[in-house]
Amino acid sequence: MLSDEELLRFSRQILMPRFDIAGQEALKSARVMVVGAGGLGCPVALYLGAAGVGHLTLVDDDVIELANLQRQIAFETAQIGEFKAETLAARVRRINPEVSVSVVNRRLELDDVAREVAEASLVLDCSDNFSTRFALNRACVTAGVPLISGAAIRGEGQLSVYDSRNPDSPCYHCLYPEQGNEDLTCSEAGVIAPLVGMIGSAQAMEAIKVISGVGRPLVGRLLILDAWEMQWREMKLNKDPDCPVCGSK
């Protein structure tokens, strides 16, 4: 049940006939895990907290640095040296005191990943390395938890939704094999500030769609953004029957 204050706070969402109170109650009941509290994780957490997701778990072992402030919009200069996940959690609570936010400010081991994912109803991958992405993907497939993955570097971004509850949905491993992929970070290649906001906001929108059941999530579709040309492209993704993570063989 939504309180009178929640009905007022979320009234602009509840007003939409497709979303209505049922959509808002679905958000309130959701447990969402956000891995990465940087450029993508900041808009994801802020928007989902503000939108009324009931519980957020923020995972990041990094601390705020001066070079982060160009694009990680939840942080301020005076907070340099603080843990990103804890600082982001505090910011979410200031926006919406009703949301429950837990923090994991250490790098998750494989057993930790499996346990945390199993307790979530949805996972958002806002990380910056392939090892984390592959570990999250395996855990999500095993637990039957949808995974929303985003990436942004230079002026290019992409996102997709991998939902192993759907027998036709590919997983992250279907798109990217574990061998032959090397991490390329923003500190090496650079990134333009608004790009992470665009991709992170899109991830938050996909999360709301998956949780509420309203709209058509990006399952089996990869959305690619060239921000310098302001062009969005969509690629169809097929499930790999020989995938070692989600394949049928």
- Contact between 190 and 30 (Cβ < 8 Å): no
Q: Report pLDDT for 143.
A: 97
Distances (CA, A) of 179 to 125, 130, 173, 176, 249: 20, 10, 10, 9, 20
Q: Pairing mode, if any, of strands 31-35 and 55-59?
A: parallel
Domains, the chain, ordered by start: 11-236 (3.40.50.720)
Distance (Å, rounded) from C-alpha 22 to C-alpha 212?
A: 8
Q: Report pLDDT for 181.
A: 65
* DSSP per-residue string spanning 154-177: BTEEEEEEE-TTSTT---HHHHS-
Residue 212's DSSP bridge partners are none
Q: Report pLDDT for 189.
A: 85
Q: Report pLDDT for 180.
A: 61
Per-10-residue mean pLDDT for the chain, 249 residues long? 96 97 98 98 98 98 97 98 98 98 91 93 95 95 98 97 96 86 75 98 98 98 98 97 87
Q: Report pLDDT for 183.
A: 66
Residue 183's DSSP bridge partners are none
Q: Report pLDDT for 182.
A: 67
Distances (CA, A) of 109 to 84, 104, 123: 19, 12, 16
Q: What is the H or E stretch that residue 182 is in?
A: none
